[in-house]
Structure 1
């Protein structure tokens, strides 16, 4: 009896729904998407019109991996660097050939003059110094030039804080003026020179920046060169004020002709120390006996990211090498070490990526 009431109720609900749909002028009934089978008998003998829902897991479509397009410009640059590096490996890194075109090595401490144009006449106020980096007790001397140059004022200041340290005034003579600041060990590393000059009644400014520091070591002298296997050895004597890893550079000349750029690295402790500069036989002219060393750079290398490198000074400007026994050198081709060969292969690999 209970089932009868339930069935009657269901029929009533269905009839009401049909009446309601017809009333709203819905002409077409969409069949249900699927009938879910609940009884085992239905599974054994499914009706032809019965749709059985089967949940098929969707396969995730894998996204294609992005194709990395190798930059052809990078490949070309790597090829160029690889060729240069391979050429350089014909010589040891401590003794590289030098030419008059290697200005950065021939003038390692060069100050490039700074100028300020004056109107459209082509005239300019120019400030020049003998060098960029000064080491105590060196004085700082500026040369200022311009047509119709008159009175000149120069302010020496801390580049980082802009605090003034000293100032001087000078008058021009024949369109040129010179101002000198006495060397002082307390100067900050980064210095700024602010110049204001009167040129034909106009005030023209120019700003130049330099470095100043106490010496980390001083080059005293060299012993005369001697042959050892395939190298010419010249021993440098230094007075070290601050211990650390040092890099000493010098240029080797025959008269005025540059021959080689020499580099030596060594950990030095405070006090009197020695360091050997080596020139490979391959950079020396055949039969050469007299040469000279010049353009010295004494550098204490940075021991950590938080500490800057520092530089030393020298008591000599050049050293003469005389009566060198060139014929005593073993003339063996330089063999690159494993690290140098790996670096070359890496560069060649980058170059080949673009092919």
Structure 2
């Protein structure tokens, strides 16, 4: 519900920006004085005397953006498409890179002197204990030496560990062995020398002691228009949990991005994911479930969310009852329909 409100708010803002912001830079056309707006004789005489001979005036022409109703028509169409699926089960495609790789570390090249570059490369952004942190430094256009990496706590500034990085075909690399006291936002710092000058690169990572672990997935079953997928978890910290996962066909084709939430007590627990029939695209099971994100939501202001993990990177979901799922269309709630009606009215305004 809140995500959809944010979605429609963002679309409205984008629509208004598109209308109010010029579609292109103003174009300047040069005209002779005779083509300008006609003035009274006294003003014309005065201006003629003030202007140097052969002077030209400049008029500015701005490209006008599309009409506001048309912008709202685009927004209404996108929002109506959004409302055709429940928020807990969205269609997934190969183009949804952020959903397919939610824990991707984005490499950033840092410019050095004389066109040289260096970058820190990590396999992911968030690590869950007991995962080690593999660190790679790539350098181009300059020879590096004396390469070290240090890991610091962002909260206390304390240095947690330090390693010397060894040269290899990738550049320089090392592995930071995991410790049980690593928790939260950490700063990774790589220091080296190049052309006799010291250099230092920094990046952030998130390290978590797991609050829960997915230990299994039971067979799916039909409930109305949903395929229900029970996740089995071992919970070490009670709280309100959200789990995101991606559902694929048995051949590896992306089908759906799923999210479920529940209040879980310590010990063994079950959390349900639901796949709406329409996102299954008529494809019968079994299915593959992977790309898990397990979050224990912040219980109080100032206390950060914690994260868990999955014992396996992928589970097979047994289900062979696609015909048992009803064809009942998803029905948005009253407030969502009201927002859609507002957008359509704005689109029809003249």
Q: Report the Cα distance in structure 1 between the residues aligned to 2:112 and 2:160, rounded to whole angstroms.
A: 28
Q: Report the Cα distance in structure 2 between the residues aligned to 1:151 and 1:354, rounded to whole angstroms.
A: 67
Q: Report the Cα distance in structure 2 between the residues aligned to 1:97 and 1:119, rounded to whole angstroms.
A: 46
Residue-by-residue CA offset, 1:36-71 (whole Å, 9 max, x unaligned): xxxxxxxxxxxxxxxxxxxxxxxxxxxxxxxxxxx9
Answer yes or no: is 1:231 the counterpart of 2:175: no
Q: Which of 115, 138, 142 matches 2:135?
A: 142
Matches within 5 A, 1:73-112: 73=17, 81-112=75-106
Q: Which of 240, 244, 247 matches 2:242?
A: 247
Decide whether the 8 Å contact of 2:252 with 2:288 is kept in 1: no
3-state secondary structure, aligned to 1:172: strand
3-state secondary structure, aligned to 1:108: coil
Cα deviation, residue 270, structure 1: 1.1
Moved more, 144-153 or 227-236: 144-153
3-state secondary structure, aligned to 2:79: helix
Cα deviation, residue 267, structure 1: 1.0
3-state secondary structure, aligned to 1:275: strand
2:178 aligned residue: 183
User: What is the root-mean-square deviation of aligned Cα atoms in Å?
Assistant: 2.6
2:296 aligned residue: 300
Q: How many residues align?
A: 283
1:68 aligned residue: none
1:291 aligned residue: 287
Q: Which of 274, 279, 285 matches 1:278?
A: 274
* Structure 1: tracts of 5 or more residues without a match: 1-70
3-state secondary structure, aligned to 2:165: strand
Decide whether the 8 Å contact of 1:155 with 1:194 is kept in 2: yes
Cα deviation, residue 352, structure 1: 6.4
3-state secondary structure, aligned to 1:341: helix
1:173 aligned residue: 168
* Structure 2: tracts of 5 or more residues without a match: 1-14, 20-67
Decide whether the 8 Å contact of 1:281 with 1:329 is kept in 2: yes
1:331 aligned residue: 327
Sort the Cα spacing of 1:175 and 1:95 in 2 relative to 1 into closer, same or farther, 3 A.
closer
Residue-by-residue CA offset, 1:101-157 (whole Å, 9 max, x unaligned): 222211111111133223334x42121111111222221221222244443111111
Q: Which of 256, 263, 266 matches 2:259?
A: 263
Cα deviation, residue 315, structure 1: 0.3
Sort the Cα spacing of 1:337 and 1:115 in 2 relative to 1 into closer, same or farther, 3 A.
same
Q: Which of 107, 117, 120 matches 2:114?
A: 120
Larger gyration radius, structure 1 or structure 2: 1
TM-score computed with the length of structure 1 as normaliser: 0.72
TM-score computed with the length of structure 2 as normaliser: 0.73
Answer yes or no: is 1:194 the counterpart of 2:189: yes
